[in-house]
Amino acid sequence: MADQDLIPFSDKYKRIATEEAWAPEELLKMYADLYNSKTYDDPGFDSLWGFYGSSMEPRPATVRRKLADLDDERIADMDAAGIDFAILSLTSPGVQVFDRDTAVTLARDSNDMLKEAIDRHPDRYAGLCAIAPQAPELAALELERCKNLGFRGIINNSHTFGEYLSDPKFWPIFEAAEAMDMPIYLHPTTPPKNMIEPMLEVGLDGAIFGFGAETGMHMLRIITAGVFDRFPKLQMIIGHMGEALPYWMYRLDFMHNAQVSSHRYETLKPLQKKVSDYLKEHVTITSSGMAWEPAIKFAQQQIGLDRVMYAMDYPYQYVKQEVTDMDNMDMSDEHKKMFYQDVATKVFKL
Ligand code: 1DF
Ligand code: MN
């Protein structure tokens, strides 16, 4: 690679990338096997890993290779893009498509592998703890183990078999996350079977749109279920500029109040605060896959400068030009440092 292709490290801030995916080789093989077995009825999984798991097109083949590498290629890519530090998390759907026992074991093994990589590159990586929501009480125990291993938060790849963390059966996970002061990154996956069809039939189920629609709804379900009233110290993170929620805040507040006060739904209950207040007080947003100055500034203005941070979404969106675009934002160095470094340092206690 020619030198002029390298983006130099900045002396004004450390660039910390906060939604960076990895996967053990064995997990990639398990995804391919699960797809080929035709025993798992999940069109979203088939759409995602039927493609990324085996396609020989350049993009999926490169993604597979980069996902499994935690050493030379990944560090070289970070160096070339001027990324100082990466928060690594198990790629979507993580362990959330396997039976309970398999998922619990896989989460634990992948956390151990990630810990070893962090120990090899402690100045470049930190990690998020993978959990199996299929076993909420065991997930809470794994969190405690992860905390002791130095993990900085939790990765959850949205729904598990069409079930959402708004269901109280998952709340031991929130309880443990709050008690251990570990933020939960709610990362997308493809929508569940009963949501995906109108998107899938026209190719809109994945990262182009379906991911965001499903994950934004998941975050809303967590808010409207009263999770943050029950766990007032809980902190969460969502990518892709907040999965569109910042742009919706006005209408969310108006309509939530309108429906609750007219008792329209048994399931939509009064909350202590406005929907938008929970976003401002409990959610940090990352720029993963959305290196777009107007959206970043809007979120900084509406959610808070201390709640918007940088992410690249490696290896799915490894575009060095994005870092240059972010460097060139019409924004003070102080605020750029918050975006690239300070918010992540605080959220993940780096
Ligand atoms: C894609 C994008 C796939 C993201 C991902 O995990 C993912 C993609 C399987 O481009 O298909 O995490 N993303 O976060 O935008
Ligand atoms: Mn991602």
**Ligand 1 pocket list (CB less than 6 A):** 21, 48, 91-92, 188, 206-207, 288-289, 313, 316
* Alpha carbons 89 and 82: distance in angstroms, whole number: 20
The CA 199 to ligand 2 mean position distance, Å, reads 19
Q: Residue 67: nearest ligand to its CA?
A: 1
Burial of 203: CB neighbours in 10 Å, binned 0-12, 13-18, 19+: exposed
Please, what is the Cα angle at 345 between 235 and 307, to 5 degrees?
A: 50
Nearest-CA residue for ligand 1 atom 11 is: 207
* Alpha carbons 192 and 44: distance in angstroms, whole number: 6
8 A C-beta contact, residue 256 and residue 204: no
Residue 3 has pLDDT above 60, yes or no: no
Q: Tell me the pLDDT tens digit for each residue of 236-251.
A: 999 999 999 999 999 9
Domain-wise residue ranges, the chain: 11-348
Nearest-CA residue for ligand 1 atom 5 is: 92
Please name the residue that has the structure tokens 């597979």: 64
Mean pLDDT of 168-194: 98
Mean pLDDT of 69-90: 98
Distance of CA 330 to the CA centre of its chain: 27
Helix (H, G, I), strand (E, B) or coil at 133: coil
Confidence of residue 5 (pLDDT cuts 50, 70, 90): confident
Read off the tokens for 24. 């053990």
What single letter denotes the amino acid at residue 5? D
8 A C-beta contact, residue 195 and residue 211: no
8 A C-beta contact, residue 241 and residue 285: yes
> What letter does residue 339 receive in the DSSP assignment?
I
Read off the tokens for 221. 């379900």
What single letter denotes the amino acid at residue 133? P
Read off the tokens for 308. 């918007």
Q: Tell me the pLDDT tens digit for each residue of 107-151.
A: 999 999 999 999 999 999 999 999 999 999 999 999 999 999 999
Peptide bond into 60 cis (omega under 30): no
pLDDT score recorded for residue 1: 47
Q: Residue 290: nearest ligand to its CA?
A: 1
Q: Which of 211, 318, 319 to mutate to test the pocket of ligand 1 (most atoms within 8 A of CB)?
A: 211
* Alpha carbons 93 and 62: distance in angstroms, whole number: 19
* Alpha carbons 32 and 229: distance in angstroms, whole number: 41
Q: Residue 62: nearest ligand to its CA?
A: 1
Q: Which of 316, 317, 319, 322 to mutate to test the pocket of ligand 1 (most atoms within 8 A of CB)?
A: 316
**Domain at 11-348: CATH code:** 3.20.20.140
* Alpha carbons 227 and 271: distance in angstroms, whole number: 10
Q: Tell me the pLDDT tens digit for each residue of 328-349.
A: 999 999 999 999 999 999 999 9
Strand order in the sheet with 184-186: 16-22, 85-90, 125-130, 153-156, 184-186, 236-238, 283-286, 308-309
Read off the tokens for 25. 């080789």
pLDDT score recorded for residue 278: 98
Q: What are phi and psi of 85, to 5 degrees?
A: -150, 140
pLDDT score recorded for residue 4: 58
Nearest-CA residue for ligand 1 atom 8 is: 207
Instruction: Select from 171, 82, 146, 154 the least CA-distant residue to 347.
Output: 154
Q: Tell me the pLDDT tens digit for each residue of 270-328.
A: 999 999 999 999 999 999 999 999 999 999 999 999 999 999 999 999 999 999 999 99
* Alpha carbons 126 and 18: distance in angstroms, whole number: 9
The CA 207 to ligand 1 mean position distance, Å, reads 6
What pTM, to 2 d.p., does this model score?
A: 0.98
The CA 258 to ligand 1 mean position distance, Å, reads 35
